[in-house]
């Protein structure tokens, strides 16, 4: 076992982990943070996406020991994040989820898209979302929710007219 120390959702956490343990399993089993969903377990579906040092990361293809000293933020730690709050509203209104399994990874990735692109158009959103797989609603609602959230955010910053 290895002892790791990291910042998890704003709080320091020190814990024993097996070196083989993925960050996803560490969050779910070790920290009871089951908002991080595990889909494919080989980096293809994006459901388990969390933030490591504020960058989207696929927690199923990171070892927990590799996050030593890093700042990790899971969907639970993004409850009051202003971009997530905005996205949550538009995901609700645009019917951007059905079963919800992919949603934590979708939200984390959508937040990153809005932080890197001002008012992204549909083509940009679809390109940047290509690594997130949804198997029930399809992508129309998800893409529309992100587009609307981006447009609202852009209006907030640039002001009307």
Partner 1 sequence: MKPPPLDYFRPETLADAVEALRLNPDHVPISGGQSLLPMLNLRVTGPAAVINLARLPELRTAVAGAGTVRIGAAITHAEIEDGKVPDPSRGMMPKVAAGIAYRAVRNFGTIGGAVALSDPAADWPACLMALATSALIVGPASERRMQMEALILGPYATALEPQEIITEFEIPTLGPDARWGWRKLARKQGAYADSIGAAVWPGNGAPPRIVFGANGDRPVLLTAVSSALSRRPDLAGAELRAVVMEEIHSFDPGADTYRLRCHVATVERAITQASAA
- Indicate which single residue of 6, 57, 94, 146 sits in contact with partner 1 (rule: CB under 8 A): 57
69 burial level (CB within 10 Å; 0-12, 13-18, 19+): exposed
Q: Is 112 in the site for partner 1 (CB under 8 A)?
A: yes
Q: Segment 127-156, which members bind partner 1 (CB under 8 A)?
A: 127-128, 130-131
Helices (H) and strands (E) in the chain, counts: 5, 5
49 binds partner 1 (CB under 8 A): yes
The nearest distance, CB 42 to partner 1, in angstroms, is 4
- Which residue from 8, 33, 37, 46 is in contact with partner 1, where contact means CB under 8 A? 46
Among 28, 37, 62, 88, binds partner 1 (CB under 8 A): 62
Neighbouring residues of 147: CB distance < 8 A, sequence distance ≥ 6? 120, 121, 122, 125
How many Cβ atoms sit within 10 Å of the Cβ of residue 53? 12
């Amino acid at each position: 076992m290895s002892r790791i120390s990291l910042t998890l959702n704003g709080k320091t956490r020190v814990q024993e982990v097996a070196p083989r343990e993925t960050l996803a399993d560490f969050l779910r089993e070790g920290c009871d943070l089951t908002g991080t969903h595990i889909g494919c377990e080989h980096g293809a579906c994006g459901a388990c996406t969390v933030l490591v040092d504020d960058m989207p990361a696929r927690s199923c293809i990171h070892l927990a020991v590799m996050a030593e000293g890093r700042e990790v933020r899971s969907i639970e730690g993004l409850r009051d994040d202003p971009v997530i709050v905005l996205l949550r509203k538009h995901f609700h209104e645009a019917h951007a989820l059905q079963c919800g399994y992919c949603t934590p990874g979708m939200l984390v990735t959508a937040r990153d898209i809005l932080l890197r692109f001002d008012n992204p158009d549909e083509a940009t959103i679809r390109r940047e979302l290509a690594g997130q797989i949804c198997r029930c609603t399809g992508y129309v609602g998800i893409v529309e929710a992100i587009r609307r959230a981006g447009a609202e955010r852009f209006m907030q910053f640039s002001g009307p007219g």
